[in-house]
Amino acid sequence: MKSTKHQHPSSREISSTKLAKPVRTGVRVGAWSLELLWMLELSHMMRHFREISVAVALGALLLFLLLLILLLPMLWRGVAALFAVLRKSIV
């Protein structure tokens, strides 16, 4: 036969009434987490760097074309002088 006496549970048997706090990833700022803000900022920076790299590439291309335009007459004179020397040596 079972005993009908009610015993108070020992301290080891008492369940905690405190609920575990949820684990949060990042500090909350209003409805936005700092992680999300960081991802948005990183995306903005990458877009900015992409624009800069395009500008640098265009600048390098314009510099190359400018140097080519400035140096082309000198190259042409050098090639013409070389052909003149070769023509004299053949004749």
- Tokens 């052909």, residue? 83
Query: Per-residue confidence at 63, pLDDT binned at 50, 70, 90?
Result: very high
Q: Of 42, 37, 11, 15, nearest to 26 (Cα)?
A: 37
Give residue-wise pLDDT tens across range 1-48. Answer: 555 666 666 666 665 566 666 555 655 555 556 677 777 888 888 887
Q: Rounded to an integer, what is the distance from CA 79 to the centroid of its chain?
A: 47
What 3-state DSSP class applies to 14? Answer: coil
Output the pLDDT for position 62: 93
Q: Is the pLDDT of residue 72 over 80?
A: yes
Q: Average pLDDT of 86-90?
A: 86
**pTM, whole model, 2 decimals?**
0.38
On whether the CB atoms of residues 29 and 37 are closer than 8 A, the answer is yes
